[in-house]
Amino acid sequence: MVDEALQNVGPARKENGVMAKPLKTRIVEVPADLLTRATTARSNGVTSTARRGLTLVASGAAYSRLRRFRGTVKFRIKLVELRLEEC
Residue 15 pairs with which residues in a beta bridge? Answer: 18
Q: How far is the C-alpha of 72 from the C-alpha of 79, rounded, in Å?
A: 16
61-81: average pLDDT: 84
pLDDT for residue 66 is more than 60: yes
Q: What is the mean pLDDT of the chain?
A: 80
pLDDT for residue 31 is more than 90: yes
Residue 9 pairs with which residues in a beta bridge? Answer: 24
Residue 24 pairs with which residues in a beta bridge? Answer: 9
Question: Radius of gyration (Cα) for the chain, nearest Å?
Answer: 21
Strand ranges (E), 1-87: 14-15, 18-19
Predicted TM-score of the model (pTM) = 0.54
Per-domain residue ranges for the chain? Answer: 4-86
34: confidence class by pLDDT, cuts 50, 70, 90 = very high
